[in-house]
Amino acid sequence: MSNCVLCKDVLSPEEGELIWRGDDCRVILIHDPDLPGFCRVIWNRHMSEMSELTYGERDLLMNLVFAVERAIRQTMQPLKMNLASLGNQVPHLHWHVIPRYEDDAFFPNTAWSTRMREASPAVIAERKKLATELPKAIRAAIAELA
C-alpha cells in the first residue's frame, strides 16, 4: 500500500514524534491536543491483522504495547488506560495506547467519540508537561524487555 500514513517514518511536528524504533516495530508519541500521552505502537511491515504475525512476532508486539502502557501509567498517572487495535480506516497493524482521565474531553466514551466537555487548559498543559517525560520512560521500559 503505497499511500499508507502509518508506513511513513517522518512525521510533522503536529502529527507526533518517533520515540523508539526497532527492526519490527516503532513507537510514536501522538501530538493530540486533547489526549496528551497518546502513543501508537506500529508494526513496521505493512500487515493488517494480528493473525498474520508469527507467534513470536505477536509476543514481541504485545510486550511492546504493555511496556508503553506501563511507562504511560507510571509517568502520567491516568485513571484508566485504553488499548485499541482497530485498523478500520488504516489497514496497517498498530495499537493505540491512550491514558484516560475522568475529566478528559471524551470520557467515559472512546477517544474517537463525540466530545463530552472542554478539558481545562491548565490540566491539559500539566499533562502535556508530563508527556514530555514519556520518550525517556518508554525507551527505559522497552530496554527492560531485552
Question: pLDDT for 95-113, tens place per residue?
Answer: 999 999 999 999 999 999 9
Element (H, E) at 60: helix 55-76
Q: What are phi and psi of 100, to 5 degrees?
A: -125, 145
Assigned domain for 11 exists: no
- Record the cell numbers describing residue 65, joined without a space: 504495547
CATH number of the domain to which 109 belongs: 3.30.428.10
Alpha-carbon distance of 70 to 35, in angstroms, equals: 17
Assigned domain for 76 exists: yes
pLDDT on residue 9? 67
Assigned domain for 5 exists: no
Q: How many domains is the chain partitioned into structurally?
A: 1
Domain of 58, in residue numbers: 16-143
Give the orientation angle of helix 121-131 with respect to helix 55-76, to 10 degrees.
Answer: 130
Q: What residues in the chain have per-residue pLDDT under 50?
A: none
pTM for this entry: 0.94
Assigned domain for 78 exists: yes
- Of 28, 2, 34, 26, which Cα lies nearest the Cα of 15? 28
